[in-house]
Amino acid sequence: MSEGPLSGVRVLDLTNVLAGPYCSYQLMLLGAEVVKVEVPGQGDLARQLGPDPDLNRRGLGASFLAQNAGKRSVEINLKDDAGRDRFEGLVADADVLLENFRAGVMDRLGYGWERLRETNPRLVYCAISGFGQTGPMSGAPAYDQIIQGLSGMMSVTGTAETAPLRVGFPVCDTIGGLVAALHIAAAVAGRSRTGEGTFLDVSMLESAVSAMGWAVSNYLVCGVEPRPMGTQNATSAPSGTFNAADGHLNIAANRQQQFEALCAVVGRLDLLTDPRFTDREQRKAHRDELNRELDRALGAKSAGEWEDLLNAAGVPAARITTVPQMVGLDQLRHRGFFTDLPFPDGSDRTLRVTGTGVLHDGEPLRPATPPPLLGEQNHEHWNAALVRDARPEAT
């Protein structure tokens, strides 16, 4: 598609590392113009983060490259007069300002919501923080792992012997970024009706708890405290990870018809008449015995073979892959999920980045340019008034 749904929307991105940059990356893929406002000579901390020390030294850390394609970069010092003048000019012309400082930092810099609303009444201001801008923990520092632990997420991850465990990727940062992107898009849409900006106070803790689903609602509604179950699904059985001849396989036979089809495919129709397994509640109560019986049958074929046979019978099943195996999946290739870009420094390396997981009119949303070098657009955006008339009018 030639233009995304947020085409004409300008986002000033003051964020660092992951939650904020992930949010603005989603907005960029949706068509917004994202201008990273970075500290001169330093930039986003993610420029120094990643497994390649050489890239980190050059301000092109993998963590930065993964979330910042398609954006622009300007260096602004918010503590000197020239920098403040430049920043205020950009704010006057922006549609969205996104920051993930600790609560109160922007106020101390003189750029809290009340001040910026005077400069630009149509501004959508989004602040992402660990705990939100209010409350007894609002001033506390937070990273993804802190939120994982405080949300209860780690307490239900792993087994009874290994919990609490951290989820193997920064899931709370990602959820916080997605929640922020959703509400920014909604606020921009709402502004077309009201003509007024909005202040969005995003709490990573609350976003994470909201995303935990049954682990929280079962306790709120029924008073049932969740427990760690490793690879098993507490709501049904058989539903979890099983052992095939060559590795692991996930099966989710959550419905009676699926359980019956599973037993037929693996050649264990006798399980259907076993009183321990006749219905959902009996299968949950005898989960370990059922899993052992199924593992014996599943050892006859590879995980890939079972995946094909079970899916053909209407039973959700799939191999467990490594990250390299996932990247090679034909399904992702077919949908154009990854995009290859030139490397920012002009070298002959190729940079591969992810998409959104959504096709718009049958087409994936892709970044058009690689992540910016620090300050790459310093002069282009020095005078916001010069570029205002050249861009489409935002809603």
Check: CB of residue 151 under 8 Å from CB of residue 205: yes
CA dihedral 283, 289, 292, 297 (to 10 degrees): -60
Strand-pair partners of 13: 36, 98
| Backbone angle region of 346, left / alpha / beta, with phi > 0 → left and psi within -120 to 50 → alpha | left
Check: CB of residue 388 under 8 Å from CB of residue 395: no
d(CA 334, CA 234): 33
85 catalytic, yes or no? no
Catalytic residue among 44, 52, 173, 308: 173
Helix axes 19-29, 171-194, angle to 10 degrees: 50
- Sign of the dihedral defined by the CA atoms of residues 12, 385, 39, 355, in that order: positive
Check: CB of residue 263 under 8 Å from CB of residue 271: yes
Strands 339-342 and 350-353: antiparallel
Check: CB of residue 301 under 8 Å from CB of residue 245: yes
List the catalytic residues: 173
